[in-house]
């Protein structure tokens, strides 16, 4: 019999959580025999050892991963994370969520994810470049526009993607932009990609507010994580009239019940590498997820809303900018409390949607104006939100179960049409 400690550990294992979410939805679908096993398991997991020359002349060996969960609907798609806590289980969970995310928004990609165990805050730009190039070189037989297309994730950015394009292109002896997405505009990037995940969060929040008859104007919002996803979500929601009342990142947190000046906070965070000390607000003393607000946007890491703190959440809407911020046990508590959770595989799918547009533009060699990108993003996200909401209403389930049901059905349909190669 597992003790309480190991139960808590299990609740915090992202791979176990991704599997529980999958199982709950799959149980409601009449899946053909054996198919569940086929789509549940990752297709391929690769571990690489990456020797890197450090600035002081020493040699360090980093561990990197790439998991391709599925290529049934198209090339594996998913970001690369640099973080000291990266594990193979975490990368595996993130890869599976990518499969379901791409299916929810109905774009022709499978799911993948990569990670390197490292602390980029303690590395120079040169060390990061050498690490990135070694990772890209070692995995260049997996990567490719038709096979596996990475993108940025936590602690990786446009610059990292540009290094990957360059490394891959040197190996291929030609420039290949479509090998990664989330690139700088000058290196085959798409207008609107940097803001796409945050814009998708905004579009989902708008839809949720409309469904629940809550006006966005004047709504109070707390945002955990002020990186790519959190900062853009906060900025765009402010433009819709919402009040950002609390923000936190790895440096600390600030709050103001009257609403923070988001443009000033953006500038402060850029100049000071974090939100801590922002003079336009008071230091946050309570955990941000428990802050008294109408809308909570977790936009940092996994396992932020657990069975320990879910009972203390005030928000009426949780918009999951991050991947896996809510554990399955917490989900149950939130459902009982009547909290409307917009699940990660729907809420943060704006990034991969515009990644798909970027990949299409690279392959066409023809680039769209930002308004066209944003217009297509809105069409895609609104359709996905409505598909999931309709499924939730039809089956009397929450939005997460409904999103998984929509996604699993789409993947299974393709497997049935393609058949199993033997």
With tokens 């945050």, the residue in question is 198
> Of the candidates 65, 109, 168, 226, which one interacts with ligand NAD according to CB under 6 A?
226
Binders of ligand NAD in range 231-290 (CB under 6 A): 248-250
Span interacting with ligand NAD, options 166-174, 295-303, 333-341, 372-380, rule CB under 6 A: 295-303
User: Using CA atoms, how far apart are residues 128 and 163, in angstroms rounded to an integer?
Assistant: 10
Name the residue nearer to ligand NAD (CB basis): 197 or 398. 197
Is 77 labeled as ligand-binding?
Answer: yes
The nearest distance, CB 300 to ligand NAD, in angstroms, is 4
- Decide: residue 376, CB within 10 A, 0-12 exposed, 13-18 middle, 19+ buried: middle
Token code pair at residue 378: 């809105």
The nearest distance, CB 420 to ligand NAD, in angstroms, is 31
* Site pattern 139..168 for ligand NAD (x: CB under 6 A): -------------xxxx-------------
The nearest distance, CB 408 to ligand NAD, in angstroms, is 20
Catalytic, 113? Answer yes
> Of the candidates 323, 326, 361, 380, which one interacts with ligand NAD according to CB under 6 A?
323
> Of the candidates 299, 339, 389, 403, which one interacts with ligand NAD according to CB under 6 A?
299
> Catalytic: which of 113, 183, 243, 391?
113
76 near ligand NAD (CB under 6 A): no
Strands (E), 212-264: 220-224, 243-249, 252-255
224 near ligand NAD (CB under 6 A): yes
306 near ligand NAD (CB under 6 A): no
End-to-end alpha carbon distance in the chain: 40
Contacts with 80 (C-beta within 8 Å, 6 or more apart), sequence order:
113, 114, 115, 116, 135, 150, 151, 152, 153, 156, 160
> Of the candidates 111, 150, 192, 225, which one interacts with ligand NAD according to CB under 6 A?
225
Is 101 labeled as ligand-binding?
Answer: yes
Token code pair at residue 255: 């709050």
Binders of ligand NAD in range 344-383 (CB under 6 A): 348, 351
> Of the candidates 92, 110, 227, 281, which one interacts with ligand NAD according to CB under 6 A?
227
User: Using CA atoms, how far apart are residues 164 and 137, in angstroms rounded to an integer?
Assistant: 8
DSSP string across 114-132: EEEE--GGGS-HHHHHHHH
Span interacting with ligand NAD, options 228-236, 310-318, 334-342, 406-414, rule CB under 6 A: 228-236
Contacts with 405 (C-beta within 8 Å, 6 or more apart), sequence order:
25, 28, 29, 391, 395, 397
Binding site for NAD(+): residue ranges? Answer: 197, 228
* Binding site residues, ligand NAD, CB under 6 A: 152-155, 197, 224-230, 248-250, 299-301, 321-323, 348, 351
| Catalytic machinery residues | 113
């Amino acid at each position: 019999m597992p003790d309480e400690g190991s139960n808590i550990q299990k609740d915090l294992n992202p791979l176990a959580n991704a599997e529980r979410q999958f199982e709950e939805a799959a149980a409601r679908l009449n899946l053909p025999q054996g198919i569940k096993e086929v789509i549940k398991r990752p297709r391929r997991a690769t571990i690489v050892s990456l020797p890197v020359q450090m600035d002081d002349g020493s040699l360090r060996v980093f561990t990197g991963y790439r998991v391709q969960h599925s290529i049934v609907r198209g090339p594996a798609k998913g970001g690369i994370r640099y973080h000291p806590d990266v594990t193979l289980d975490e990368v595996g969970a993130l890869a599976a969520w990518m499969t379901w995310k791409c299916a929810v928004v109905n774009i022709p990609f499978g799911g993948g994810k990569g990670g390197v165990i490292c602390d980029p805050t303690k590395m120079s730009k040169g060390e990061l470049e050498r690490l990135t190039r070694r990772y890209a070189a070692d995995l260049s037989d997996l990567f490719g526009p038709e096979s596996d297309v990475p993108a940025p994730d936590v602690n990786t950015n446009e610059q990292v993607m540009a290094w990957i394009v360059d490394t891959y292109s040197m190996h291929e002896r030609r420039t290949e932009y479509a090998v990664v997405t989330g690139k700088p505009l000058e290196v085959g990037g798409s207008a609107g990609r940097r803001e796409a995940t945050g814009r998708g969060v905004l579009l989902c929040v708008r839809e949720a507010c409309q469904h629940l008859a809550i006006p966005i104007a004047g709504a109070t919002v707390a945002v955990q994580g002020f990186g790519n996803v959190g900062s853009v979500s906060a900025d765009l929601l402010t433009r819709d009239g919402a009040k950002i009342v609390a923000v936190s990142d790895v440096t600390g947190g600030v709050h103001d019940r009257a609403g923070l000046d988001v443009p000033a906070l953006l500038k402060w965070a850029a100049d000071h590498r974090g939100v801590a000390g922002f003079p336009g607000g008071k230091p946050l003393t309570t955990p941000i997820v428990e802050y008294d607000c109408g809308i909570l946007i977790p936009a940092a890491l996994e396992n932020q809303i657990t069975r320990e703190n879910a009972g203390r959440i005030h928000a009426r809407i949780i918009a999951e900018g991050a991947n896996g911020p809510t554990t399955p046990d917490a989900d149950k508590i939130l459902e009982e409390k009547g909290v409307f959770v917009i699940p990660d595989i729907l809420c943060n799918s704006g990034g991969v949607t515009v990644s798909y547009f970027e990949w299409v533009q690279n392959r066409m060699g023809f680039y769209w104006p930002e308004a066209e990108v944003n217009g297509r993003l809105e069409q895609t996200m609104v359709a996905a939100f409505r598909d999931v909401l309709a499924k939730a209403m039809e089956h009397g389930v929450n939005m997460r179960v409904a999103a998984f049901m929509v996604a699993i059905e789409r993947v299974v349909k393709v497997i049935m049409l393609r058949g199993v190669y033997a």
